Structure 1
């Protein structure tokens, strides 16, 4: 089973488990992603100017749909066709694909969102941010959820399980609030701020690209 197939199954309501290298497992948190934005979402990602926004790893589109409802030009992107279907049903504009694939309006987006730990996509946060750097306008911003202080940068080799089927191993990174400044610097961004709401944290990064 591919990772994409497993994510499709999870968003369709079929039990999907995340298997960690140390043998621990936990259910994938799709139920939370399918809920409307909560207070933390509003404080960290939605309490902002109405700038054109890429929602990377948008899932079922709770953030993209909320921004779209406000009239903010927003595009969600996710590898799961089922997640994209649900995002569109919520009223979001969303496409199925990989952030490293072709994206419309390259170099013209004002902001990119990496909620729910999506800074970990691909297991190389610097590479991911460098890709986003190319997609943003000069001075564009990234708002990325990060882990607590003291975590540093951890890259894990994970698998998903649906029923008896397993996906191949994939790489995923966790970036702590203490490490995001260095990661951002390597990718051409300055750390502008770290916001906290409840137990969640988000870093605001500003592109150093000149106009």
Structure 2
């Protein structure tokens, strides 16, 4: 069968193969599977589509110089670039980065914990699509994002709708049980994200829901962020 429609062979990453043709998976569905047996379906088609209304609520809050952490196929950072807002995506998945660049966006294939351009100067950092879970340590991730942000900048974070706080090992799996490599992951609801943020000297300056998704805006204490974000 054609390359873009076949199921993965042993050792192939189902997520990487799903992005290969730039339209999302044609062998549906894909799941995020936990080591304890639980799984959730991954909305890869949404990630490969135009921004949704919920995404728009994030984009509306982005100021200049946006860093999209875990950009995936690039729908957010490319949408920002098309609006004249400079945005850089970072992702460890080479095919996700390649798709972002092919769509006219700017992206680097590296971890958020690697050296990045303009450290300490980003006005907005995006952690959408549950990317607060990157690395399995939300404290370390938010601390790193705070280092990357301008002192008056905003961290826009998508959190779980449930009041949950857990760390786990996970992998991407297709409907036939083909698995990608395992990686550390985490899930945080809004209360847990607040606690982690407060421990880092950050505070929640805005919280909102759109559809079935929930978001927080974080900023440093005693900054002008609350006036600029909540005053829109």
Length-normalised TM-score, structure 2? 0.81
Gaps of 5+ in 1: none
Aligned to 2:17: 9
RMSD: 2.4
Contact 2:63 2:124 (8 Å CA) reproduced? no
Q: Which position in structure 1 is the counterpart of 2:229? A: none
Deviations 1:55-113 (A, max 9, x none): 00101111001111111111001111111111112211111111011100111111100
- The number of aligned residues is 208
Shift of 1:188: 2.7
Deviation at 1:17, TM superposition (A): 3.9
- In the alignment, structure 2 segments of 5+ residues that lack a partner are 1-9, 224-232
Larger Rg: 2
Is residue 42 of structure 1 aligned with residue 42 of structure 2?
Answer: no
Distance in 2 of aligned mates of 1:2 and 1:105: 36
Aligned counterpart, 1:146? 159
* Equivalent residues of 2:62, 2:124 under 8 A apart: no
- Partner secondary structure for residue 84 of structure 2: coil
For 1:24-47, what per-residue CA distance to the aligned partner results, in whole angstroms no more than 9, with x for missing partners?
A: 44553321100100111102x111
Q: Which residue of 1 is the match for residue 168 of structure 2?
A: 156
| Residues 149, 178 of structure 1: 8 Å contact kept | no
The residue that corresponds to 2:111 in the other structure is 98
**Separation of aligned partners in 2, 1:2 and 1:101:** 26
Partner Cα separation in structure 2 for residue 129 and residue 143 of structure 1: 11
Hey, what does 1:89 align to over in structure 2? 102
State the alpha-carbon separation in 2 of the partners of residues 33 and 208 from structure 1.
32
Cα deviation 1:133-174 (Å, max 9, x = unaligned) = 1111112110000112522x1112212346665444321111
Partner of 2:213: 200
Give the 3-state SS of the residue equivalent to 1:121 in structure 2: helix
If the length of structure 1 is used for normalisation, what is the TM-score? 0.88
